[in-house]
Amino acid sequence: MDYVIEMLNIRKEFPGIVANDNITLQLKKGEIHALLGENGAGKSTLMNVLFGLYQPEKGEIRVKGEKVNITSPNIANDLGIGMVHQHFMLVDTFTVTENIVLGMEPKKGFTIDMKKAERDVKEISDRYGLRVDPKAKIADISVGMQQRAEILKTLYRGAEILIFDEPTAVLTPQEIKELIQIFRTLIAEGKSIILITHKLKEIIEVCDRVTVIRKGVGIDTLDVEGATPNQLASLMVGREVLFRTEKTEAEPKDVVLQISKLNVNDARGVRAVRDLDLTIRAGEILGIAGVDGNGQTELIEAITGLTKISSGSIKLSGKELSSYKTRKITEAGVGHIPQDRHKHGLVLDFPIGDNMVLQTYYQRPYSKLSMLNNKEINKQAKKLINEFDVRTPSEYTQARALSGGNQQKAIIGREIDRDPDLLIAAQPTRGLDVGAIEFIHQRLIDQRDKGKAVLLLSFELDEILNVSDRIAVIYEGNIIAVVNPKETTEQELGLLMAGSKKKEEGDIKHV
Amino acid sequence: MFSRTQTILIPVISVVLGLLIGAVVMLVSGYNPIEGYSALLRGSLGDSFYIGETIRQITPYIFAGLAVAFAFRTGLFNIGVEGQLLVGWIASVWVGLAFDLPKIIHLPMAVLAGAIAGALWAFIPGLLKAKLRVHEVIVTIMMNYIALHLVNYLVRYVISDQQNTTSRVPESASLKSPFFEALTEFSTMHYGIFLALAGAIIYYVILEKTSTGFELRSVGFNQNASQYAGMNVNRNIILSMVISGAFAGLGGAMEGLGTFGYAFIHGAFSGVGFDGIAVALLGGNVAIGVVLAAALFGILKQGALIMPLQSGVPTELVEIVIAIIIFFVASSYIIAYLLQRFKKGAQ
Ligand SMILES: Nc1ncnc2c1ncn2[C@@H]1O[C@H](COP(=O)(O)OP(=O)(O)OP(=O)(O)O)[C@@H](O)[C@H]1O
Ligand SMILES: [Mg+2]
């Protein structure tokens, strides 16, 4: 059998941890090969080794049978290996084309031949059905389009082998469908793909083979055909996974959050939330379903004080919050798991310990008379690391060095542990493995059972349907329906989210 | 990015490389590097007089280095240390001359005036950055020129009577130390070095041990996350500049109340503020590093004055050595890369 890539017995160590221990991964030409493993299992590390960002301590890499030494991404490029990172590496103020040709610009005399570059980019974009506007500025296009720009970048550099690190974690369901189509086109054009994802359904849908790793050790490589999600999950975790969260009927009590006639503008000054009314009670989880860009982000930023509101009122247990600054809102009892963990959730250059007290560092026992008490801070960090299974060498490790999923678990731990009356969870399980998702869902339900209110925002309808007690559908900045998850279906929700059913039709159940 | 040993090794190796390449330059231009460097050492540490002069030289370097480092650690680039130092200098001298008080009140007041003036001078770029997002590098550079000419005006027309220098500050506001002068054969060494070392300790405590330092560092790394966590980003930007400026102003007060004991018209910038950038960089922006880097700079600059007389090597050689050191620190990736290679080769 011909392998285009062979990674044999790879070992990669970091201070205090062996991230890859004797892992072997072989990629056939024209296949989509999944790389599956828990958070922190070492998937990104292995791919960074292949892309030349890390040097392995042991093992060898072969490209088309030939032993190679990939000491930098440039060498990886020359060998036809391209990588689409989980966190994009694009210059925001440049156009798509400028980003793509960066470092290898076509020249005309001494100047860059932008016309030719744009033509080339357009040509590749059309060939693979990417439909990217070569002249658009990165800052102005959606996350899905930015990802396509990254794909174009690798193709422009002649990649034959494409590595995708959790590409679907940041996409909406529609964008995921389109990405899968793009994968198929790439394969038809003779490319080979390595795909990291935590979504077992995606693996079963598009992949040919899957390599499973657990805690840095290679477990097995198997054909996807015939494999079930349960089988994959238990291989990866090393025990049975349930997939369904057990929960009792909600017992809603007093109103915790009362929003009325709320209007909020987005960053460009366009109205994003319009005359929105919403109520959440103690002891219930309210899920917000909606297509991305219908005002969800602005709604959450308004509640948490990150954005000023235009008009309306936001009351927490009867207290008006809308004039408060973020700190006062936090102190009043609002917790917030943010959508973007790198932008808002963590100070990546701080140790994980300091990140665990990001909102409380100035309070006792973490500070006394303005002097930090590092002993208490690290004690708290240790506690959360254990409780939420954050896999890190220690509480002194920089947050940056944690795997994506473990960063997420750290944030969730911090927010839940503060035990807020209202917990806002925006895409809380983005980038988490199936075991961790189960655990986090259980913790959200525990908060509910303790009599707290939970606001869950998610683009995964599964998650919304499984975890919520009520579902509010947001469309163009307004809640157009509130439905009972037990009496609705994905289809109905889909229609509501598309705005095709309106309140006026009168057939929407109000719960 | 770098491991702990690397953060220590990189500046040390840079210094060694700087000195080695300096030696090569001397050889190539026909001087004896051993003679050159020993003259430099004699001129900075050779006897008690030179030691006194070197310590006096180190004092403002520590403050300037701390000022740059403080801003840097909190996400700002303060190029205006030079100007803040000048206004600190004139303010401390003015308070020294304007009041007639017992030393126990007068001296602290004059020193404090330097800090406050520097802080106020840095407050302006901080405010512009916080409120209007004007980049602090541009503003601080311009404020340097305003400071230079404003201070010259004040010296000539306000504090003195159309003279090039002010009068000397009275004993009650002076940092001069007859004790150290006697000890070091009448060098200009003064008590300022103790204030500088205290400054380094304060720097460490504010930044690493207080909740204010936690906030300042957090805002320096990630403004979005800091805002999310309820910190007041704008207030912290201003505070960072103000504290940085206060360190710079104190550096000026050391010159005004200690080294010179008066203020004078500057034809050009003294350069201490700009050297502060190099000191902070070489010192890795940590307190102990800044003190050590300032000591190295003090030794090199002081020794450079004697070197031409004793060995014929021109003063400029020291500037070359410093430039090479800074080059290597700034391009630390080269050294990190070499270290890695070296480790691989050894295995
Ligand atoms: N630069 C680094 N320095 C130190 N440790 C690191 C670094 N990068 C990763 N690690 C550690 O190596 C281990 C594997 O991390 P990796 O990012 O490869 O996990 P992953 O499988 O991609 O997980 P996730 O699904 O959460 O993204 C983790 O324990 C992580 O803390
Ligand atoms: Mg990863």
Q: Distance (Å) from the C-alpha of residue A362 to the closest C-alpha of chain B?
A: 6
Q: Rounded CA gap, A308 and A298, in Å?
A: 9
Closest CA to B9 of B311, B347, B334: B334
Would you list the domain boundaries of chain A?
3-237, 255-505
- Cα Rg for chain A, rounded, in angstroms? 24
Fold designation for A255-505? Rossmann fold (3.40.50)
pLDDT of residue A505: 45
Q: What is the DSSP string of A135-189?
A: TSBGGGS-HHHHHHHHHHHHHHTT-SEEEEESGGGGS-HHHHHHHHHHHHHHHHT
Residue A281 bridge partners (DSSP): A255
Q: CB of B331 within 8 Å of any CB in chain A?
A: no
Tokens of A208: 């040919």
pLDDT of residue A502: 55
pLDDT of residue A174: 84
Residue A221 bridge partners (DSSP): A211
Q: Rounded CA gap, A386 and A393, in Å?
A: 12
Q: How many CB atoms lie within 10 A of CB B271?
A: 11
pLDDT of residue B346: 56
Instruction: List ligand 1's pocket residues with C-beta within 6 A.
Output: A 14, 17, 19, 37, 39-45, 391-392, 401-406
- Type of residue numbered A20: N
> Percent of chain A, pLDDT > 70?
97
Mutation target among A301, A347, A367 for the B interface, most CBs of B within 10 A: A347
pLDDT of residue B345: 58
More confident residue, A113 or A36: A36
pLDDT of residue A103: 80
Q: CB of A371 within 8 Å of any CB in chain B?
A: yes
More confident residue, A510 or B9: B9
pLDDT of residue A41: 94
Could you report the predicted ipTM of this complex, rounded to two decimals?
Answer: 0.88
Contact across the interface for B229 and A367, Cβ inside 8 Å: no
Banded pLDDT at A140 (limits 50, 70, 90): confident
The secondary structure of chain B, three-state, reads: CCCHHHHHHHHHHHHHHHHHHHHHHHHHCCCCHHHHHHHHHHHHHCCHHHHHHHHHHHHHHHHHHHHHHHHHHCCCCCCCHHHHHHHHHHHHHHHHHHCCCCHHHHHHHHHHHHHHHHHHHHHHHHHHHHHHCCCHHHHHHHHHHHHHHHHHHHHHHHHCCCCCECCCCCHHHCCECHHHHHHCCCCCCECHHHHHHHHHHHHHHHHHHEHHHHHHHHHHHCHHHHHHCCCCHHHHHHHHHHHHHHHHHHHHHHHHHHHCCCCECCCCCCCHHHHHHHHHHHCCCCHHHHHHHHHHHHHHHHHHHHHHHHHCCCCHHHHHHHHHHHHHHHCHHHHHHHHHHHHHHHC
Tokens of A499: 């705005």
Has residue A340 got a pLDDT over 70? yes
Ligand 1: atom nearest CA of A54 is 1
Q: Distance (Å) from the C-alpha of residue B232 to the closest C-alpha of chain A?
A: 9
Q: CB of A57 within 8 Å of any CB in chain B?
A: no
Average pLDDT of the residues of chain A:
91
Give the torsion through C-alpha atoms of B90, B94, B97, B100, to 10 deg.
-140
Residue-wise pLDDT tens digits, A202-221: 999 999 999 999 999 999 99
Q: How many CB atoms lie within 10 A of CB A177?
A: 10
Nearest to A349 among B212, B221, B228 (CB): B221
Two domains, one topology: A3-237 and A255-505: yes
Has residue A238 got a pLDDT over 80? yes
Please list, in sequence order, all residues whose beta carbon lies within 8 angstroms of the beta carbon of residue B16, skipping any fewer than 6 positions away.
none
pLDDT along chain B (347 residues), means of 10: 74 91 93 93 93 96 98 96 97 96 96 98 97 95 97 93 91 93 91 97 97 97 96 97 98 96 93 94 94 96 91 89 88 76 62
Contact across the interface for A359 and B232, Cβ inside 8 Å: no
**What mean pLDDT do residues A389-404 have?**
93
Does 3.40.50.460 match the CATH number of domain A3-237?
no
Closest CA to A202 of A36, A43, A42, A86: A36
Chain A residues closer than 8 Å to B215 by CB? 361-362
Nearest to A330 among B214, B215, B230 (CB): B230
Q: E strands along A255-405, which residues? A: 255-265, 271-281, 285-289, 311-316, 319-320, 334-337, 367-368, 371-372
Chain A residues closer than 8 Å to B228 by CB? 304, 306, 326, 336, 338, 344-345
Q: Rounded CA gap, B116 and B118, in Å?
A: 5
Tell me the whole-structure pTM to 2 decimals: 0.88
**What mean pLDDT do residues A348-359 have?**
97
pLDDT of residue B205: 97
pLDDT of residue B343: 66
pLDDT of residue B4: 73
pLDDT of residue A1: 61
Q: What is the DSSP string of A425-442?
A: EESTTTT--HHHHHHHHH
Contact across the interface for B228 and A326, Cβ inside 8 Å: yes
> Looking at ligand 1, which residue's alpha carbon is closest to its atom 28?
A40
Would you list the domain boundaries of chain B?
46-273
Contact present, A174 and A142 (Cβ < 8 Å):
no
